[in-house]
Structures are given as structure tokens and as C-alpha cells.
Amino acid sequence: MFDTQTPEKTVTSDTLKFTARDVHVYYDDAEAIKGVNVDILDKTVTAFIGPSGCGKSTFLRCLNRMNDTIPICRVTGEIRLDGQDIYDRSIDPVQLRAKVGMVFQKPNPFPKSIYDNVAYGPRIHGLANTRADLDVIVEKSLRRAALWDEAKDRLDSPGTGLSGGQQQRLCIARAVATAPEVLLMDEPCSALDPIATAQVEELIDELRQDYSVVIVTHSMQQAARVSQRTAFFHLGHLVEFGETSHIFTNPSDERTESYITGRIG
């Protein structure tokens, strides 16, 4: 089911980025997340795994308040980023999402040029004073997303004209352009072929030098390859959370074992 040969990846940071306490999420009366507590570390890739409908994406979306955009969705409990309550009245969700960037399942570049896709966030957040500043941010972000060499001669071409894998890297460049601290990725490789998937996985490994990355994935092989910590969700509960190598080789909970051995899911 998973690659037991994957070398153990050590957690390199003990700095807490997010702390979530007793988080419940409801869609109308249906409870999708049932009292989740979790600590997410800086400069670490954390994978959320679990059967379809267990709440992985719902919980991920709590971390940058994307659930605010769903009228029937209600979040209770406490989520802190660097110690600050992200659901506090004083927090502007738009500013929060610049700090906590998100990459979605399906690459979704804006119908704009490659340059403008990346420049969009820095422009609306006033991160560049001059065109030259913006050029620097765009180049740096495209380099960070390992897309510069392929894109540098076609910056004025539409982002939608890139291949699927390139589009996803463009979306990663767009997310890193606002200098976020955390990157949330909701099944970022599910629409990609194996080569593009490998490129994005390599990129995730590089990004963790600078960011905390949280990735939802259906692929246990992918979780084992890219993450240092893994959280297993089941029916809205966070069943088990720990070092990826431990979760995959020696899970403590029967439900985790059933999932990773393919008996539930």
C-alpha cells in the first residue's frame, strides 16, 4: 500500500505555527468536524489523510477561513496562528489568506497573463511600489515554483495556455507571491500526470525550508513521500496524528491501521 522504503524524514522544527483546540464545523445542522485538536509545526509538511467525506478539506479550509465563504458553514472552537486567534473580530480574512495561501485540487489560473497571475496578489496587497519591484517579486515567485525557465519568455501569454502541471506550479507561484507563511494544498496533484506530480512533490519538499505546508491527499504514497507529520481523519474525528513514519509503520489506532492497509476507505 505504501512505500516502506521511504527514508525517515525528520521533523526539522519544533516551532508551532497553528494550534487548533476543540474545533467543530457544521454545515447547517450536520457536524463535519467533531472536536479536533491539533498542533501544526513551522517548516514542516503535514499531510491530512482519511476516507472520502471524513472532513479533511473542511478542516483545511478552517485554517485560512475559506469556510467563511460558505454561508451554511459554522466553525466553533479556537484556531491560533503564531498565537493569534484567526477568528478574532480584528482579523481581516483577506489579509489572513495572504499569510496562509491556498492551492486547490484543480489548477485555477486567472484568465490573465502569466505575469499578471503572479502579480495580482502583490498588487492588491500593495507589496510593490514600482513596476521594477513587481518584476522582482514575479521572477522570484516563478523561480520558487520551479516555473521560471519555462515561463520567462512568455510572461505575457495567458496562464491558461500552460500545461496542467505548469498551471499548478503557476498557482503555487501565485500563492507564494504574497510572501505567505503557510501554504495549504487541497489534493494539489489529483489532476496531474505522474511527471507533473513528481515535480510538484519535489517543490513541496523545497517549500518546507521556508513555509509550513499542509496538504490534503488521497494518496498514502504521496503522504509518505512528502510529509514529516500525518493526521488521519475519520468521520469528522482526528483519530491519530504524529510522525509520518510512525503513522505508516506502527499506527496506534485500529482505524488508522485499517485505512492504511486498505480495509476502510
Ligand X SMILES: Nc1ncnc2c1ncn2[C@@H]1O[C@H](COP(=O)(O)OP(=O)(O)OP(=O)(O)O)[C@@H](O)[C@H]1O
Binding site for ligand X (CB under 6 A): 27, 32, 50, 52-58, 70, 72
Q: What's the Rg (C-alpha) of the chain?
A: 18
Q: Report the residue number, 23 or 134, with the smaller CB distance to ligand X.
A: 23
Beta carbon of residue 55, minimum distance to ligand X (angstroms, whole number): 4
* Residue 96 Cβ vs ligand X, minimum distance, rounded to whole Å: 20
Asked if 67 and 75 count as a contact pair (C-beta separation under 8 A), the reply is yes
Handedness of CA 38, 200, 42, 230 (dihedral sign): positive
Say how far apart CA 175 and CA 64 lie, in whole Å. Answer: 13
The closest alpha carbon to 206, from 26, 43, 28, belongs to 43
Nearer to ligand X among residue 72 and residue 136 (C-beta): 72
Between vectors from CA 141 to CA 139 and to CA 144, what angle results, nearest 5°?
110
* Shortest CB 8 distance to ligand X, Å: 27
Cα(56)–Cα(238) distance, integer angstroms: 9
Sequence letter at residue 198: A
Minimum distance from CB of 254 to ligand X (Å)?
19
Give 118 or 213: the residue with its C-beta nearer to ligand X.
Answer: 213
Least distance (Å) between residue 51 CB and ligand X: 7
What CA–CA distance (Å, rounded) separates 25 from 250?
30
Whose Cβ is closer to ligand X: residue 93's or residue 158's?
93
Q: Which is nearer to ligand X, 178 or 230 (CB)?
A: 230
